[in-house]
């Protein structure tokens, strides 16, 4: 999203998480209360099971931290309450003799357990996890509200049912550490999906490192991915940390992963399975803690059939697939996205230009082979061309011109064609109309590298 967007202004400070502490030893309870409050929690205390149950019926909490054995019963009797309070974490405090019971409690829904005497560092870690979960729940709630009001979800825009399905998938997978594989046509916003997964995850405070595998020379991509030691090859004048190292504790986004050389895919698979990388010229592997989100604009199984993607790597990446629909399949989002891009330019220039009805109609009649990226480029050029409001004459749609000149029948586009075949026809028609590859890539809203890759496939 645009950093200047007023919708991106800082959110009001979130309320402090709340904890209910239960123990029948007053001195221990007071010491625990002081420590928990010092970690940023508001607290209430109870000295018995009955008192705790009464407080829970009256009030809501993010954390219930309770001694396992209380004078009037076992805290395991509180487990059924978790069914009605899925957002509350239950952490038990137990003696060594009752660890087996605590493990049974974990199976029943408890979040964790601490043994007496409580280690301060261990308790602080538990509290940190609770705080992080509270923040994530708040972000998810805010994003859902934002989506209902504005048709936007983090960096993504769209209120269509197709995009809401994508948002639901992002919400589910973000809270895990599962590898995500995003597929979709060029320009649909696959990197935005990766950013949303990262920002909603427990790794949000860590780095987000993107790498376009199709934009880097095959001779350099191994160094960029895994790093190299000084003197390991000609030109290696310094030690270089690769993307895996730079993304440690965060998320690595591998765009156009099917463009990675097959011999390097073996090393990528090894890194994913071992959570270790080795710099070029390095003598020992380095442990890394990285979540990977991969993406491709190709059918991944077809890429395997074509020899562009190793089958074992595909199955390692395809833990949680997310498919982004093309812009032509979400026509109801077109005005929303176009207005968003135009508003960005208006804010920067201090203007108030709007799209006319004729301009909107022309946008709706376009097939958008370059998807959202193409729309963004079209709106930017139209904004520059327009003296006042953006009319249809300001819109430069060379791909549409090519179709108009040739006619749908001449191009051979018909209902029932696959997206890949429509993309092939429009790409070649645009190239024929424009007559120059660089300009064709700009019109389609794709990189020159992607255009060359497409043309290579079309030529067989």
Asked if residue 156 and residue 201 are part of one domain, the reply reads yes
Torsion of CA 338, 344, 350, 351, to 10 degrees: 0
Asked if residue 184 and residue 117 are part of one domain, the reply reads no
Residue 130 lies in a domain: yes
Asked if residue 164 and residue 29 are part of one domain, the reply reads no
Token duo for residue 390: 């953006």
Which pLDDT value is given to residue 2? Answer: 42
Per residue in 189-224, pLDDT tens? 999 999 999 988 889 889 999 999 988 887 788 889
Q: How many helices (H) and strands (E) does the chain have?
A: 20, 18
Asked if residue 310 and residue 169 are part of one domain, the reply reads yes
Decide if 141 contacts 24 (C-beta within 8 A): no
Asked if residue 362 and residue 271 are part of one domain, the reply reads no
* Edge-to-edge strand list for the sheet holding 320-323: 208-212, 251-255, 291-296, 180-183, 320-323
Asked if residue 30 and residue 159 are part of one domain, the reply reads no
Residue 42 lies in a domain: yes
pLDDT band at 88 (very low <50, low <70, confident <90, very high): confident
Going by the DSSP 8-state scheme, the letter that residue 206 receives in this structure is S
On the question of pLDDT at 455 being above 70, the answer is yes
CATH number of the domain that residue 432 is part of: 1.10.8.60
Residue 144 lies in a domain: no
Number of domains composing the chain: 3
Per residue in 426-442, pLDDT tens? 888 887 776 678 778 87
Q: Which of 269, 310, 308 is nearest to 179 (CA)?
A: 269
SS3 164: helix
Residue 11 lies in a domain: no
Residue 437 lies in a domain: yes
Going by the DSSP 8-state scheme, the letter that residue 10 receives in this structure is P
Distance of CA 55 to the CA centre of its chain: 38
Which pLDDT value is given to residue 148? Answer: 55
20-24, 109-113, 209-213, 381-385: least confidently modelled range? 109-113
CATH number of the domain that residue 215 is part of: 3.40.50.300
Q: Which of 203, 250, 256, 246 is nearest to 225 (CA)?
A: 246
Query: Kind of pairing, strands 156-157 and 286-287?
Result: unpaired
Asked if residue 199 and residue 93 are part of one domain, the reply reads no
CATH number of the domain that residue 39 is part of: 3.40.50.2300
CA–CA–CA angle 192, 194, 198 (5° rounding): 115
Asked if residue 338 and residue 317 are part of one domain, the reply reads no
Asked if residue 411 and residue 345 are part of one domain, the reply reads yes
pTM of the model: 0.62
Residue of higher predicted confidence among 458 and 141: 458
Distance of CA 453 to the CA centre of its chain: 26
Last residue of a domain, one of 102, 134, 166: 134
Asked if residue 380 and residue 294 are part of one domain, the reply reads no
Domain span including residue 159: 151-323
92-106, 195-209, 379-393, 394-408: least confidently modelled range? 394-408
Q: What is the mean pLDDT of residues 417-426?
A: 76
Q: What is the mean pLDDT of residues 369-378?
A: 90
312-326, 327-341, 430-444: least confidently modelled range? 430-444
Which pLDDT value is given to residue 398? Answer: 53
DSSP for 292-350 reads EEEEESS-HHHHHHTTSS-HHHHHHHTTEEEEPPPGGG-GGGHHHHHHHHHHHHHHHHT
Last residue of a domain, one of 269, 301, 323: 323
On the question of pLDDT at 50 being above 50, the answer is yes
Residue 252 lies in a domain: yes
Asked if residue 315 and residue 355 are part of one domain, the reply reads no
Residue 6 lies in a domain: no
Last residue of a domain, one of 323, 347, 375: 323
Decide if 271 contacts 226 (C-beta within 8 A): yes
Q: How many residues does the chain have?
A: 460
Which pLDDT value is given to residue 102? Answer: 64
Asked if residue 307 and residue 169 are part of one domain, the reply reads yes
Residue 12 lies in a domain: no
């Amino acid at each position: 999203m645009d950093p200047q967007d007023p919708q991106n202004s800082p959110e009001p400070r979130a309320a402090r998480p709340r904890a209910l502490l239960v123990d029948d030893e007053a001195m221990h309870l007071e010491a625990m209360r002081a420590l928990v409050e010092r970690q940023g929690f508001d607290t209430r205390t109870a000295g018995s099971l009955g008192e705790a149950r009464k407080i829970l019926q009256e009030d809501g909490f993010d954390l219930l931290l309770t001694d396992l054995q209380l004078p009037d019963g076992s805290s395991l009797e509180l487990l059924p309450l978790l069914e009605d309070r899925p957002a509350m974490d239950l952490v038990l405090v137990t003696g060594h003799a009752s660890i087996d019971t605590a493990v049974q409690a974990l199976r029943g829904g408890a979040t964790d357990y601490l043994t007496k005497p409580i280690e301060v560092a261990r308790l602080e870690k538990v509290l940190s996890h609770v705080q992080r979960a509270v923040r994530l729940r708040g972000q998810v709630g805010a994003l859902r509200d934002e989506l209902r009001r504005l048709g936007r979800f983090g960096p993504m825009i769209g209120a269509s049912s197709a995009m809401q399905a994508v948002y639901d998938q992002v919400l589910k997978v973000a809270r895990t550490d599962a590898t995500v594989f995003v597929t979709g046509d060029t320009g649909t916003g696959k990197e935005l999906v990766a950013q949303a997964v990262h920002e909603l995850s427990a790794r949000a405070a860590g780095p987000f490192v993107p790498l376009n595998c199709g934009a880097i020379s095959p001779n350099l991509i191994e160094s960029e991915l895994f790093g190299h030691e000084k003197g390991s090859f000609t030109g290696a004048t310094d030690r270089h940390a690769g993307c895996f190292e730079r993304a440690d504790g965060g998320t690595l986004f591998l765009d156009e992963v099917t463009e990675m050389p097959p011999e390097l895919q073996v090393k990528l698979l090894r890194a994913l399975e071992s959570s270790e990388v080795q710099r070029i010229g390095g003598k020992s592997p380095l442990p890394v803690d990285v979540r990977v989100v991969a993406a491709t604009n190709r059918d991944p199984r077809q890429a395997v059939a074509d020899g562009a993607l190793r089958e074992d790597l595909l199955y390692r990446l395809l833990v949680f697939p997310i498919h982004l629909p093309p812009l032509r399949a979400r026509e109801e989002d077109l005005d929303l996205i176009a207005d968003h891009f135009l508003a960005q330019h208006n804010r920067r220039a201090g203007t108030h230009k709007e799209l006319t009805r004729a301009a909107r109609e022309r946008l709706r009649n376009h097939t958008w082979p370059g998807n959202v990226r193409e729309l963004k480029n079209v709106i930017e050029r139209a904004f520059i061309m327009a003296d006042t409001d953006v009319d249809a004459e300001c819109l430069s749609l060379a791909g549409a011109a090519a179709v108009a000149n040739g006619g749908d029948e001449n191009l051979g586009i018909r209902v029932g064609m696959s997206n890949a075949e429509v993309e092939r026809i429009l790409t070649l028609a645009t190239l024929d109309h424009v007559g120059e590859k660089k300009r064709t890539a700009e019109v389609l809203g794709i990189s020159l590298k992607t255009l060359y890759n497409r043309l290579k496939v079309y030529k067989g």
